[in-house]
Amino acid sequence: MKRYNSLEEVRQDIDTGVVTCRDLVNYYLQNIERKKHLNAYLEVFTEEALQRADEVDQKIAAGTAGRLAGMVIGIKDVLAYKDHSLQSSSKILEGFKSLYTATAVQRLLDEDVIIIGRQNCDEFAMGASNETSAYGPALNEIDNSLVPGGSSGGSAVAVQADLCLASIGSDTGGSVRQPAAFCDVVGFKPTYSRISRYGLIAYASSFDQIGTLTRSIEDAALLLEVMAGADEFDSTASQRPVAPYSQQLQTDKKFRIGYIRDTLESEGLDPEIRETMLGVIDRLKAEEHTVEAVDFPYLDFIVPSYYILTTAEASSNLSRYDGVKYGYRSPDATDLGSMYKKTRTQGFGHEVKKRIMLGTFVLSADYYDAYYTKAQRVRRLIKEKTEELLREYDFLILPTTPTTAFPLGGNDAEPLAIYLADIFTVQASLAGVPAISVPVGYDAKGLPIGLQVLTRSFEEAQLFAFSKVVNEKIILA
C-alpha cells in the first residue's frame, strides 16, 4: 500500500474503491508490528480499531460518514479515552483506566476518526527526548540511536514511520513542535485556550494545549477545526467561534515577517540550521514577502521563567497522585506518611520528581516572590513584547530547535542542556500564541530541520495558509 500524506489522499482512494478503512487499519497495524522496536505505541487497540474501521466503512458506503472518516490516528498517553488505560507514561498510573473521554478526543470520534493506539511520551510530558518515559524511549526512525524529541516523541515517530496518518499530542513548551522538527513532520500548537483541556492530563495548566502531528498542513487545519471551540467542561476554553481553517488555506498575500536577530546569532545554534534559516529568509524575500530582523530583549529570560512557572504548576497538578484513590500505591507503605513518600518515590521517575521539587521550592513562602512572582512578571513582559512584534509583523519565524535530533543519552551528563534546547519553542508557550513547526530541510547527515512560525492569537487560519506557502514555494527540494 502506498504511503498517504493527507486525509484528502486517503479519501480519494476510498471514494474510488482503491482502499477501505479496514485496509488502512491493517496496513498501520502491520507497520506497527514491523517497527515495534521504535516503541512508539504503549498500547495498540487492534481489535477495536478493526471493528471501528468496519463501522466507518459502512457509514462511508451509506453516505453518513463524518469529516474524519478514513483518518487513522494515535493519541498521546496524556489524553483520556473512556475505558482505556491512561498513564502519562508513568508507573504511578499503573492500571488506571479513564472513566471518561477528553472533549477533543470525543469530537474526533464524533467525526469518525479511528484511534489505533496509545502513544509513548515523556513521563507526564516532562522531557524533550521521550527518554523519561517509564516504558523506555521511542526511537527516531531515521537513526535509531537518536531521540525522536519529546515529549510527544512516540506521536511524532508514529507519523514519521507511517504507523498512523496523524497523532494527537500535547504541547506545554514545545512538546509537539520539537519532536515534529526532529522527525520531519508538521507539529502544530494552537492558541492557548483554543482547544478544551478537559481530559488532557495536566502538566502546567496555564501552558498546556492539545496539538497535532501530521504529514500535511491540511490535516493539521482539519483536526483543529474539529477539536477547537468552547466546552462546558473547561471554563478556560475560548468562546470564540471556530473558523473553517481547512477551507482557508489558499493565499497570495505578501506578508510581513520578522525574525529575531539573536536567535540566528546565538552560540548554541547549529550552523547548518542557521544556514537553512538564512536560505528560507532569502527565498521569502524572493517571493516578495517583507522579512526583517527584530530585537527581542528577553531571550535569556525565556527558559528560566518557563521552568519556574511550569514546575510550580506541575508540583500542584501532580499532588493528586498520592496512592489514595487510584493508580499505584506502594506495597511497602506502613502508615500515611510512608504511603505518600514511598508511592511517590517509587511511582514517579527522576525527571518528574526533580520538577515537582523545583516547583515546590519556587512556590515556598520564602522564595515565592523571588521566583514565582518574578517569573510571572517576566512572562507578562514576554507576552506583551511578542504581541507587540506580532502587531507589526504577520509572523515571527525562528528555528524550532537549536540542533537536529541528538543521540539517546546524549544529555545525561548535562541536565541543563536539555532545558536550553527548549529556547525557541517556549516563547510561543509563554505568550500563548499559536505556533507551527514545518519541515524545511535537512542537515548534511540527512537529519530534518524544522522552521517554526508564530502568529497572533486565534489567527490559526493565516498560520496554516502561510505554512502552505512555505511548503510549496520556499522549501527547495
Interface with other proteins (CB under 8 A), residue from 235, 247, 290, 338: 235
Is residue 405 at the binding interface for other proteins, with CB under 8 A as the rule? no
CA distances from 112 to 337, 432, 458 (A): 47, 30, 26
Interface with other proteins (CB under 8 A), residue from 62, 365, 413, 444: 365
Question: Candidates 13-21, 59-67, 218-226, 324-332 — which segment interacts with other proteins by CB under 8 A?
Answer: 324-332
482557508: which residue's cell?
248
Cβ–Cβ < 8 Å for 246, 221:
yes
Interface with other proteins (CB under 8 A), residue from 14, 201, 418, 435: 201
Residues 106, 111, 114: CA angle, nearest 5 degrees: 80
Question: Residue 19: how many CA atoms within 13 Å on its side-chain side?
Answer: 20
How many Å apart are CA 173 and CA 125, to the nearest integer?
Answer: 10
Is residue 413 at the binding interface for other proteins, with CB under 8 A as the rule? no
Strands, E assignment, 100-165: 114-119
* Minimum distance, C-beta of residue 103 to other proteins, in the bound complex (Å): 10
Amino acid at 227: M
Cβ–Cβ < 8 Å for 377, 326:
no
Is residue 206 at the binding interface for other proteins, with CB under 8 A as the rule? yes
Question: Candidates 10-18, 58-66, 110-118, 314-322 — which segment interacts with other proteins by CB under 8 A?
Answer: 314-322
* Minimum distance, C-beta of residue 380 to other proteins, in the bound complex (Å): 13
* Minimum distance, C-beta of residue 40 to other proteins, in the bound complex (Å): 22
Is residue 205 at the binding interface for other proteins, with CB under 8 A as the rule? yes
Interface with other proteins (CB under 8 A), residue from 102, 139, 176, 428: 102
Nearer to other proteins by Cβ, of 125 and 303: the residue is: 125
Interface with other proteins (CB under 8 A), residue from 241, 325, 369, 444: 325
Cβ–Cβ < 8 Å for 262, 385:
no
Residues of span 17-36 touching other proteins by CB under 8 A: none
Cβ–Cβ < 8 Å for 323, 282:
no
Cβ–Cβ < 8 Å for 466, 289:
no
How many Å apart are CA 118 and CA 44, to the nearest integer?
Answer: 6
Q: At what angle do helices 103-110 and 217-227 cross, to 10 degrees?
A: 110
Residues of span 329-358 touching other proteins by CB under 8 A: 336, 340
| Residues of this chain that bind other proteins (CB under 8 A) | 78-80, 86, 88, 93, 96, 98-100, 102, 197-202, 204-206, 232-236, 312-313, 315-316, 318-320, 322, 324-326, 336, 340, 360, 363-365, 368, 372
Catalytic center residues = 76, 151, 175
